[in-house]
């Protein structure tokens, strides 16, 4: 007998559907469903007895739910669209507070997914096993007829060669690579099925994320207008993500190790598999993080989160690594209240979490989480406003654009919450030097045309010295954007990354920098010929040109101007590129006068790719318990920061180095090196534009809180014996300090 009964259940009996009170009908067992509502419709009477309010879910989706109950032989089902009066805010608050109970007490959870083609996972499992067998018994360069395969295996391989072609290279190119067509077609078909499932809109929503964490005995159902079919256990699909990654890595090794020399066709095949490996690595990380969260929740019980700070971090990482959305902005937070069961009472949900005021909702969420866990939960974000003692709590600022769960990126445990609004934590204090700004970054939202990169050196429009007896030569500006053909995108991106290297990290190893930057950006574009995008395109596309390994002292970046539009870039695999950021551009102004305008994802990947930054190393990894640890630059700014500017400051080096060097670029003859006279800015941090450090602030004590690999929070104490305040985020991994570790108070 269940310990808590829902107030309503949808009942199916004799082909009829009606909503009942389970207490009055002595119902003790029920199932539960997880699904996407889809488009909201005008209110109408659904015609189900017991539903005495008008609903907004589409009639087609409601019919799908009925079809599921019939197919799965479910008599009693809890489904939110008809078991909650969506017009009654008090009732909704009560029901949200009970999500944990409902999903934990239901005997089975059914995930309903809309699919154009309903297919079975067992077929993919069998085909991946077949692929494994081929890879183990046959060399990549061998002929199938001579590989001593069984007749059945040989026939099946031939059948795969005749099936609809799915590998993203044309057949003649693959044939010239001397790789069995059936192997690649089997591989790509299986991988595409697995990717398509996890790319399904079901996996893009906040509420469904919560439900897949809370559900017991989860079964997945595929449905379209014609069919509904049980497509397997949730556990099976989780394992398929790992199995797909395994086959991608094995196939890459299979092709690579069987050849001493590789043809262009082989390189093209390997490039595609390498891209698959990258996306499947992330998918497996997401899946294992979800699996680990389910373990924490199922084994930890109703209050699992109160003392499991690693589990809390994992939930935030898992929900933000592939950003999710919801119909109402406030549901970004309300959609997790079942996972954090008991965080708010129904009355508190109705009063503190109602509406879409994201500043109020996010503040209430993190404040309550900190109070009830006794730990100060914050993130790599810069405080926007004074909130009394709680100023260190991150707030999601109201914004009219799409909002995703990126607001949970890089949420960290700051330290012990000593009393309301006061956090105690270890920090490295006495940072050497004072912060001086040298770069400004303005976030703006525009209807971006393609993937644009504009760079104007501070010397453009001026005249460059060409010799004592020659007239100065004017430095040209690229005022008109150049549309880049898809085949030239690789070369263009490397040129852009090279310019960014000399501005963001002057004096660095340019080749290593642009490899880090472009590997994390993961740009996707389609070429008209595979030779235009070889597997090692980051280096190969500029090989033999002046951009291949440019000596920094001859680059003369401040004399250059680039203005490119790369419409051929369809997407970027970077976590910084999502629905919320896709239309955001950054305008970067260096104190020498250089200007960069580029997509948000490119600029912030460029900032975190600097030498010695831990934010640009590994995007995500798993700890020993398969909990996700994210290391990237997503948390540097908050959702809703469009229209706001940030400054890069330096505690070391000389912030006038760019200005000094730009004069050398203009006044030094072209055949002579430009040697920097000042030390480049170092010990860098990102702060809000409103932050300043004047001549009267010499007594300020700066430090930083190390957050276990997620980045360091820059802190400041205005008075010798006062409390510290979070003012920014360190970009460099280590900043020189005098005092070492000590316990500090942060308000």
Dump pLDDT digits (tens) for 422-457. 999 999 999 999 999 999 999 988 766 679 999 999
184-197 pLDDT, tens digit each: 999 999 999 898 88
> Is 36 exposed, middle or buried, given 0-12, 13-18 or 19+ CB atoms closer than 10 A?
middle
Rounded mean pLDDT, 320-328: 87
Whether residue 63 has pLDDT greater than 70: yes
Residues 25 and 210: their CA atoms lie apart, in Å, by 29
Q: Report how far apart the first and last C-alpha atoms of the chain are (Å, whole number).
A: 48
Whether residue 64 has pLDDT greater than 60: yes
Q: What pTM did the predictor assign?
A: 0.90
Query: What is the share, in percent, of the chain residues with pLDDT greater than 90?
Result: 59
Residue-level pLDDT at 141: 62
Rounded mean pLDDT, 624-642: 81
What Cα–Cα distance (Å) separates residue 471 from each residue in 198, 465, 466, 468? 63, 8, 7, 8
Residues 268 and 5: their CA atoms lie apart, in Å, by 58
Residue 639's pLDDT band (boundaries 50, 70, 90)? Answer: low
Mean residue pLDDT across the chain:
89
Phi/psi of residue 380, nearest 5 degrees: -75, 75
Residue-level pLDDT at 2: 42
**606: helix, coil or strand?**
helix
Residues 245 and 134: their CA atoms lie apart, in Å, by 17
Residue 460's pLDDT band (boundaries 50, 70, 90)? Answer: very high
Whether residue 144 has pLDDT greater than 80: no
378 contact partners, CB below 8 Å, separation of at least 6: 366, 392, 393, 394, 411, 412, 414, 423, 713, 726
Residue 491's pLDDT band (boundaries 50, 70, 90)? Answer: very high
Q: What pairing do the DSSP bridges indicate for beta strands 561-566 and 482-483?
A: parallel
Runs of H (alpha helix) within 419-558: 489-504, 510-521, 537-540, 552-555
Residues 664 and 674: their CA atoms lie apart, in Å, by 6
Whether residue 508 has pLDDT greater than 80: yes
What Cα–Cα distance (Å) separates residue 85 from each residue in 32, 91, 306, 333, 455? 17, 7, 31, 20, 55
Contact, 391 vs 383, CB < 8 A? yes
Residue-level pLDDT at 225: 85
Whether residue 206 has pLDDT greater than 80: yes
Rounded mean pLDDT, 94-118: 92
- Higher-pLDDT residue of 545, 119: 545
Residue-level pLDDT at 142: 61
Whether residue 346 has pLDDT greater than 80: yes
677-731 pLDDT, tens digit each: 999 999 999 999 989 998 888 889 999 998 876 778 999 998 878 899 999 999 9
What Cα–Cα distance (Å) separates residue 148 from each residue in 20, 127, 158, 175? 64, 19, 14, 21
Least confident of 283-297, 518-532, 610-624: 610-624
Query: What is the share, in percent, of the chain residues with pLDDT greater than 70?
Result: 95
Residue 1's pLDDT band (boundaries 50, 70, 90)? Answer: very low
Residues 684 and 633: their CA atoms lie apart, in Å, by 14
What Cα–Cα distance (Å) separates residue 391 from each residue in 16, 378, 387, 409, 726? 56, 10, 5, 19, 8
Least confident of 168-182, 254-268, 461-475, 512-526: 461-475
372-408 pLDDT, tens digit each: 999 999 988 776 666 778 888 877 776 666 678 888 8
Phi/psi of residue 57, nearest 5 degrees: -75, 145
Partners of residue 221 on adjacent β-strands: 112, 230
Residue 20's pLDDT band (boundaries 50, 70, 90)? Answer: very high
Shortest CA distance to 532 belongs to which of 576, 488, 595, 481? Answer: 488
Shortest CA distance to 340 belongs to which of 286, 302, 367? Answer: 302
Whether residue 148 has pLDDT greater than 70: no
Residue-level pLDDT at 467: 61
Whether residue 302 has pLDDT greater than 70: yes
Rounded mean pLDDT, 534-542: 91
**422: helix, coil or strand?**
strand
Whether residue 221 has pLDDT greater than 50: yes
Rounded mean pLDDT, 288-315: 94
Whether residue 468 has pLDDT greater than 70: no
Show the CA angle centred on residue 558, arms to residues 566 and 446, nearest 5°: 40
Q: What is the Rg, in whole angstroms, of the alpha carbon atoms belonging to the chain? A: 29
Residue-level pLDDT at 469: 59
Contact, 312 vs 186, CB < 8 A? no
**462: helix, coil or strand?**
coil
Residue-level pLDDT at 190: 93
3-state secondary structure 261-315: CCCHHHHHHHHHHHHHHHHHHHHHHHHHHHHHHHHHHHHHCCCHHHCCHHHHHHH
């Amino acid at each position: 007998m269940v310990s808590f009964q829902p107030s309503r259940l949808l009942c199916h009996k004799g082909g009829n559907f009606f909503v009942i009170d389970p207490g009055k009908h002595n119902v003790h067992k029920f199932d539960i469903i997880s699904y996407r509502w889809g488009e909201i419709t005008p209110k109408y009477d659904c015609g189900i007895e017991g539903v005495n309010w008008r609903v907004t879910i589409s009639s087609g989706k409601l019919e799908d739910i009925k079809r599921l109950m019939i197919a799965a032989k479910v008599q009693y089902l809890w489904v939110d669209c008809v078991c909650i009066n969506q017009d009654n805010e008090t009732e909704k608050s009560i029901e949200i507070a009970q999500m944990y109970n409902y999903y934990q007490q239901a005997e089975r959870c059914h995930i309903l997914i809309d699919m154009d083609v309903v297919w079975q996972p067992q077929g993919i499992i069998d085909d991946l096993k077949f692929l494994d067998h081929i890879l183990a018994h046959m060399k990549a360069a061998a002929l199938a007829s001579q590989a001593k395969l069984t007749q059945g295996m040989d026939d099946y391989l031939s059948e795969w060669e005749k099936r609809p072609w799915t590998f993203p290279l044309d057949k003649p190119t693959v044939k010239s690579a001397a790789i069995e067509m059936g192997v690649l077609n089997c591989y790509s078909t299986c991988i595409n099925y697995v990717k398509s499932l996890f790319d399904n809109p079901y996996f893009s929503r906040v509420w469904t994320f919560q439900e897949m964490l809370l559900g017991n005995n989860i079964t997945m159902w595929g449905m379209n207008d014609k069919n509904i079919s049980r497509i397997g256990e949730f556990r099976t699909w989780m394992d398929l993500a790992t199995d797909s990654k395994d086959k991608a890595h094995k196939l890459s090794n299979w092709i690579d190790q069987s050849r001493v020399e590789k043809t262009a066709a082989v390189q093209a095949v390997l490039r595609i598999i390498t891209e698959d490996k990258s996306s499947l690595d992330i998918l497996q990380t997401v899946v294992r993080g979800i699996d680990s969260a389910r373990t924490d929740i199922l084994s930890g019980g109703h209050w699992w989160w109160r003392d499991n700070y690693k589990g809390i971090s994992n939930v935030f990482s898992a929900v933000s690594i592939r950003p999710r959305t919801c119909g109402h902005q406030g549901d970004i937070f309300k959609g997790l209240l079942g996972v954090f069961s008991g965080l708010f009472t129904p009355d508190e949900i109705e009063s503190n979490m109602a509406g879409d005021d994201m500043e109020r909702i996010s503040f209430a969420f993190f404040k309550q989480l900190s109070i009830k866990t006794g730990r100060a939960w914050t993130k790599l974000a810069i405080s926007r406003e004074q909130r009394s003692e709680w100023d260190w709590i991150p707030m999601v600022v109201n914004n009219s654009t799409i909002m995703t769960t990126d607001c949970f990126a890089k949420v960290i445990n700051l330290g012990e919450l000593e009393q309301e609004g006061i956090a105690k934590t270890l920090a490295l204090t006495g940072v050497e030097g004072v912060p001086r700004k040298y770069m400004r970054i303005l976030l703006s939202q525009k209807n971006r045309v393609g993937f644009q990169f504009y760079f104007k050196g501070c010397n453009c429009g001026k005249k460059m010295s060409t010799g004592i007896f020659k007239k100065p030569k004017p430095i040209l500006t690229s005022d008109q954007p150049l549309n880049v053909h898809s085949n030239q995108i690789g070369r263009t991106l490397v040129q852009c990354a090279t310019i960014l290297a000399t501005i963001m990290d002057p004096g660095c190893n340019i080749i290593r920098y642009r490899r880090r930057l472009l590997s994390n950006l993961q740009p996707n574009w389609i070429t008209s010929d595979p030779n235009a995008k070889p597997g090692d395109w980051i280096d190969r596309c500029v090989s033999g040109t002046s951009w291949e390994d440019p000596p920094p002292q001859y680059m003369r970046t401040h004399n250059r101007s680039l203005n490119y539009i790369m419409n051929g870039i369809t997407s970027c695999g970077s976590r910084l590129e999502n629905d919320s950021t896709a239309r955001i551009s950054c305008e970067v102004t260096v104190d020498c006068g250089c200007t960069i305008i580029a997509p948000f994802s490119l600029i912030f990947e460029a900032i975190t790719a600097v030498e010695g930054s831990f934010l640009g190393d590994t995007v995500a990894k798993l700890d020993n318990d398969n909990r996700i640890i994210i290391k990237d630059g997503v948390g540097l700014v908050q959702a809703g920061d469009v229209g706001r500017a940030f400054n890069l400051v330096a505690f070391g080096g000389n912030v006038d180095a760019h200005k000094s060097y730009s004069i050398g670029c203009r006044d030094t003859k072209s055949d002579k090196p430009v040697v920097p006279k000042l030390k480049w800015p170092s010990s860098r941090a990102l702060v809000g534009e409103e932050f300043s450090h004047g001549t009267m602030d010499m007594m300020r004590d700066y430090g930083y809180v190390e957050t276990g690999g997620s980045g360091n929070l820059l802190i400041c104490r205005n008075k010798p014996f006062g409390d510290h305040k979070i003012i920014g985020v360190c970009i460099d991994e280590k900043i020189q300090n005098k005092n070492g570790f000590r316990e500090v108070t942060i308000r």
